[in-house]
Chain A
């Protein structure tokens, strides 16, 4: 990949980008307009196609996702939960505490973690409940149907029913510090990335544990393919994919894609329909790879900072990425 000429990258012919000058924390696509929204370390949210800037937070944006119906939901180190659409508004103010993680679902659920608390709000911004954890929440995920929300923390993860009358979590226990967290698309598995540079999974039906180890760095991105057959992960010098079929991942070796450049894979996200994964690397390279064939298509060249944010739009026709040096880009992958 390192010998690929600049014009062979799709970004040259199909991309648009800006240097925005601050760490790109996260990117997502608006559910209404389809525009990409980038959350930055200077507290700003930039919304495509013109990368229009909004000052959502006073300090840094710590997390961003597409909000319930339109616009973007962000958490900041100014203690605020904000919505940014045509303008930025504060949905909740948690004082001196950082709002570290946010998630939202079109069914009208918003989740924000502040210290040990996970706050749930409805689509109108009304607080629904506040869920307490034994230690600081380090990652949150809402399942595909918005029935359950999972929060990772020290020594495991807690699984809550959003609509429960009485809030009592199912505790998924495993010793150690758990951060990034994901549900499988069918809601049957929960997987976390651990501080000790391995993954841990639980099969919810019977509590079966799954340990996936061997990473040289911490995994920050966990992404299942659309039908949940593969779990793609960052944290190695290739895209590491665990098979969730044929009895796996227990006792199965993972597949590796797009390795060989001795550069750390820092971000992965699976295509919303096909068994295709987009990956970003520490040198700024972005590529997409077909899992079955291993065929790789170069998307963006190295050189603009390590990839820190990566996202497909809802129908998989556009990919957005951001770097730790402040470059934001989108690439149009629609058939022409």
Chain B
């Protein structure tokens, strides 16, 4: 699956600087070619046959889950673009300012043909440093776009002073401590530092220990979305983990925006990378553990209404050697009443 096309999802509130960034991606000489899926034709002042006009058609999956939505137009567009695969290095999907990024991300987990052809590389959110606080106050979407991000382009830095900049970063960190933040003015960060970063390279993300993690919830009480992370030292039993996470995502998927993990499975010398958007999950072995690194497993949840002790006990019970009575109880917690 090495020839899957990497996909970057570009989100951000209206006026944050997405269009400026897209224009730079299309016109600057940075050595890569990107197919760009936009939602309003003509917004880019560029004549480029790799710019694709999309309709943002959000379809429910036929699996009875109301949060499982996909972008029907993207399924067709990815199939169409694959017919000239050799013409570009990656795909960038722009979402409208108010859009929930979940249907876009979920398309890359839910559709068989899309999964085979493409892989989600990163979710990049462009944020207006001056107006973020106001956006967070009046819209749930602004908060979700930050929660979903792997990388945040903190733009319009010329409009804020050092104090305001620190405060806006604090607000971002409170929602999503794992996203990488790049500061910019007029979206002037180097294109290669924003696109094609392999941000879903979870190792990098999860090895980043958030500065203020102190065993407390990363919950600043000025935001609804919070994040929790856990580390365990004994190997994970893959069957236990699969059953537990499947039940957990099924029961709690609507509140869980992003779930990411690096797992050390018992009797396996490879690292397993796991990620989910709401209740749709995907996972794969990434590489062998190095001899010099501890084989610890980490998991991160970003979402609403997260019960830290319940999630921790569940993850801990997936370790080899954890009492099976504990595990059964944790599994039952998320199982539908029979």
Contact = CB atoms under 8 A, between A and B. Distances in A.
A101 to B, nearest CB: 10
A195 B111 contact: yes
B251 interface: no
Interface stretch (B68-76, B143-151, B284-292): B68-76
A108 B72 CA distance: 32
B82 A96 contact: no
Interface stretch (A1-9, A57-65, A247-255): A57-65
20 contacts: A22-B84, A23-B82, A23-B85, A41-B84, A59-B49, A62-B83, A77-B52, A97-B53, A98-B80, A135-B59, A135-B72, A136-B55, A136-B73, A154-B59, A154-B72, A175-B60, A177-B59, A196-B63, A217-B112, A218-B113
Contacts of A42: 84
A135 B84 contact: no
B62 interface: yes
A195 B75 contact: yes
Interface string B34-72: 000000011000000100110101011111000000101
Contacts of B82: 23
A115 interface: yes
A237 interface: no
Given A100-B76, A218-B113, A59 B62 contact: no
Interface in B245-291: none
A307 interface: no
B57 A135 contact: yes
A23 to B, nearest CB: 4
A115 B55 contact: yes
Contacts of A60: 80, 83-84
A59 B57 contact: no
Contacts of B61: 196
Contacts of A196: 61-63
B298 to A, nearest CB: 33
A2 to B, nearest CB: 22
A176 interface: yes
Contacts of A23: 82-85
B84 A218 contact: no
Contacts of A61: 83
B53 A197 contact: no
A60 B18 CA distance: 27
A77 B51 CA distance: 10
Contacts of B80: 60, 62, 77, 98, 100
A25 interface: yes
B112 A41 contact: no
A165 to B, nearest CB: 30
Given A136-B57, A154-B59, A196-B61, A78 B84 contact: no
A23 B85 CA distance: 8
A277 interface: no
A136 B73 CA distance: 8
A240 B49 CA distance: 38
Contacts of A194: 62
A97 B113 CA distance: 22
A176 B57 CA distance: 13
Interface in A168-200: 175-177, 194-197
A151 interface: no
A97 B55 CA distance: 10
Nearest to A77: B80
Residue of B41, B53, B62, B63 with highest tally of chain A CB at under 10 A: B62
Nearest to A23: B83
Contacts of B62: 175-176, 194-196
Residue of B57, B60, B63 with highest tally of chain A CB at under 10 A: B57
A25 B55 contact: no
A77 B78 CA distance: 12
B68 to A, nearest CB: 11
A62 B84 CA distance: 10
A232 interface: no
Interface in A89-117: 96-98, 100, 115-116
A218 B115 CA distance: 12
Interface string B75-93: 1100010111110000000
Given A77-B49, A77-B80, 15 more contacts: A41-B84, A41-B85, A42-B84, A61-B83, A98-B52, A136-B73, A154-B57, A176-B62, A177-B59, A195-B59, A195-B62, A195-B70, A195-B75, A217-B112, A217-B113
